[in-house]
Amino acid sequence: MLSKPDGAGGRVATAADEAMSQYAQGDASAFEIVYDAVAPRIEGYVRRKVRDGARVEDIVQQTFENMHKARGTFIPGSDVLNWAFAIARNLVIDTGKKAGRESSTDMTAENDGMGAVLAAAIAGGEELFLARETGALLVRTYEGLTKLQQEVFELVKLEGLSYQQAAATLGITVPSVRMYAHRAFVALRGAVEERSESRLVPA
Amino acid sequence: MALSPEFKSRLLAQVREVPAPTRKETLRRQTWLFAAGLIGALAIFFIKGGLRVTARPPSLIALTSLGTAGFVGVGMWLLFTRGPTGLRRPRAVLLGAAVLSTIAFVSWRYGVSAAYGRAGVWPDRIGLRCLGLGVMTGGLMLFAALMSWRRSEPVTPVSTGAAFGAGAGLGSALLIDLWCPVAYVPHLLLGHVLPILILSVAGGVIGGRVLSLVRKR
């Protein structure tokens, strides 16, 4: 993606940020550029939270409608992806009271999918069994994390947002994001290490 | 499963049909409304007597007002503006800005007045008049801020409203500082600090309904 170093707060502004700035000034054609850059990321995020495909489309559509309605408040050069994520997250919370349960269900589905990938790659049945067990353990550990730890982990690790972007999306400070991310990583890594050690203990 | 091209064209077509003000139009509207609120608050302040010197030495008035203006100005800037991300600042920052600038201006006011020997007990001035003036002038500023951001906050309408309330309360605290000679702590808490709390709560409650992009039923 094209970028230039004049974004707000010394950040590198992306082509999507520039396009959103133009759209905020009234250039109607720029919204398509914003859509192309932002929609796949938002869709991936929402799909992880909401299982129903129709609802995913509804939330993505509402996110872009809200961006359109609030375009006059967009600060030129600021991060449009951040803004879109914050709007989408708000809509997920607003429209789906079951979002928390569904997100963990989705994690299970994702890990099942990962298990299938491992099955194709690993010849031995024992390895497959162990991989599945580790996946299940990770899901249990993930479900034991606090809501904010889960959200930080998703935004930073799965969506690839920076700590700054995740902090702005969640409305918390960057040090808090670092702390939640650290705790989530420690918990998940601890679960994997515990699993590995238990395998080494002779029966 | 990716979003289809039909979805994209349908969405872009639908968006084109919904009117949305541009940044220039939004800024113009916000400036006018905010200026109107400020002028209204100043009008009430002057109708109620404006700067009241009473027995206070001019240097005391200058010191307390300049200090209060500094603390309140920083607080208002953090509460009314957005961060470099373009989103409202984190809730912890907003809360910290409101609380710390309030503590700072009250401490400053009391400390400077005490140095001049004018922080004694005023049992007959519990602060109801200051409370009334604070709620009136701050309320007008809050109303203007909420109207200027009406239906344009897509993410955090409640905390934005509360931040506007606290900001308006801090603005009114500066006017009360010029108006009121009393630096007795219970008076300061009731007459100068309580309006900030009242306006923050009112801003949060009203902001949740007025600032949200979607009309709440």
Q: Is the dihedral of CA B21, B25, B30, B36 positive or negative?
A: negative
Which residues on A lie below 8 Å from B153 (Cβ)?
Answer: 70, 73
Tell me the C-alpha distance between A179 and A67, whole Å: 30
* Mean pLDDT confidence for A75-87: 91
pLDDT, greater one: A194 or A156: A156
Q: Is the pTM of this model over 0.90?
A: no
* Mean pLDDT confidence for B98-127: 91
Which residues on A lie below 8 Å from B82 (Cβ)?
Answer: 75
Q: How far is B157 from chain A (nearest CA, A)?
A: 11
Q: In the beta sheet, which residues pair with residue B212?
A: B153
Which residues on B lie below 8 Å from A173 (Cβ)?
Answer: 90, 92-93
pLDDT-based confidence at A201, cuts 50/70/90? low
pLDDT-based confidence at A129, cuts 50/70/90? confident
Q: What is the pLDDT of residues A134-189, one digit of tens each?
A: 788 888 888 888 988 998 998 998 888 889 888 888 888 899 999 999 999 888 88
Question: Is the confidence at residue A202, as pLDDT, over 80?
Answer: no
Question: Is the confidence at residue B212, as pLDDT, over 80?
Answer: yes
pLDDT-based confidence at B72, cuts 50/70/90? very high
A65 contacts B15? CB cut-off 8 A: yes
Query: In percent, how much of chain B has pLDDT > 90?
Result: 76
Is A176 part of the contact surface with chain B (CB cutoff 8 Å)? Answer: yes
pLDDT-based confidence at A4, cuts 50/70/90? very low
* Mean pLDDT confidence for A51-68: 90
Residues on chain B bordering chain A, Cβ-to-Cβ distance under 8 angstroms: 1-3, 7-8, 11-12, 14-16, 18, 20-27, 82-88, 90-93, 149, 151-156, 159, 213
Is A32 part of the contact surface with chain B (CB cutoff 8 Å)? Answer: yes
pLDDT, greater one: A57 or B86: A57
φ/ψ region of A4 (left if φ > 0, alpha if ψ in -120 to 50, else beta) reads beta
> What is residue B212's DSSP assignment?
B
- Residue of A69, A75, A76 lying closest to B82 (CB–CB): A75
A53 contacts B153? CB cut-off 8 A: no
- What residue in A sits closest to B2 (Cα-Cα)? A40
A67 contacts B152? CB cut-off 8 A: no
pLDDT-based confidence at A97, cuts 50/70/90? low
Comparing C-alpha atoms, which of A129, A47, A131, A122 is closest to residue A92?
Answer: A47
Tell me the C-alpha distance between B6 and A192, whole Å: 43
Residue whose entry in the numeric block shows the structure tokens 């961060």: B83
pLDDT, greater one: A105 or B206: B206
Q: What is the pLDDT of residues A5-14, one digit of tens each?
A: 445 455 677 8
A25 contacts B83? CB cut-off 8 A: no
The correct answer on CATH 1.10.1740.10 for the domain covering A1-96 is yes
Predicted pLDDT at B123: 78
pLDDT-based confidence at A198, cuts 50/70/90? low
pLDDT-based confidence at B215, cuts 50/70/90? low
Is A73 part of the contact surface with chain B (CB cutoff 8 Å)? Answer: yes
pLDDT-based confidence at A132, cuts 50/70/90? confident
Comparing C-alpha atoms, which of B131, B17, B45, B37 is closest to residue B80?
Answer: B37
Mean pLDDT of chain B: 92
What is the three-class DSSP state of A14?
strand
Where does residue A44 rank: exposed (0-12), middle (13-18), buried (19+ CB within 10 A)? middle
Question: Is the confidence at residue A119, as pLDDT, over 50?
Answer: no
* Mean pLDDT confidence for B200-215: 91
Query: In percent, how much of chain A has pLDDT > 70?
Result: 74
Treating both helix axes as pointing N-terminal to C-terminal, what angle do A174-200 and A163-170 enclose, rounded to 10 degrees? 110
Q: How far is A13 from chain B (nearest CA, A)?
A: 11
Residues 6 or more apart whose Cβ sits within 8 Å of residue B103 = none
Question: Is the confidence at residue A104, as pLDDT, over 80?
Answer: no
Predicted pLDDT at B192: 96
Cα angle B188-B189-B193, degrees, rounded to a multiple of 5: 95
A8 contacts B85? CB cut-off 8 A: yes
Is A100 part of the contact surface with chain B (CB cutoff 8 Å)? Answer: no
Interface test with A, best of B85, B146, B211, B217 (most A CBs within 10 A): B85
Q: What is the pLDDT of residues B12-45, one digit of tens each?
A: 999 989 899 999 999 999 999 999 999 999 999 9
Which residues on B lie below 8 Å from A90 (Cβ)?
Answer: 154-156
Q: What is the pLDDT of residues B113-171, one digit of tens each?
A: 999 988 888 778 889 999 999 999 999 999 999 999 998 888 889 999 999 999 999 99
A26 contacts B84? CB cut-off 8 A: no
A90 contacts B15? CB cut-off 8 A: no
Q: How far is A19 from chain B (nearest CA, A)?
A: 14
Interface predicted TM-score of the whole assembly (ipTM), two decimals:
0.83
B146, B161 in Cβ contact below 8 A?
A: yes
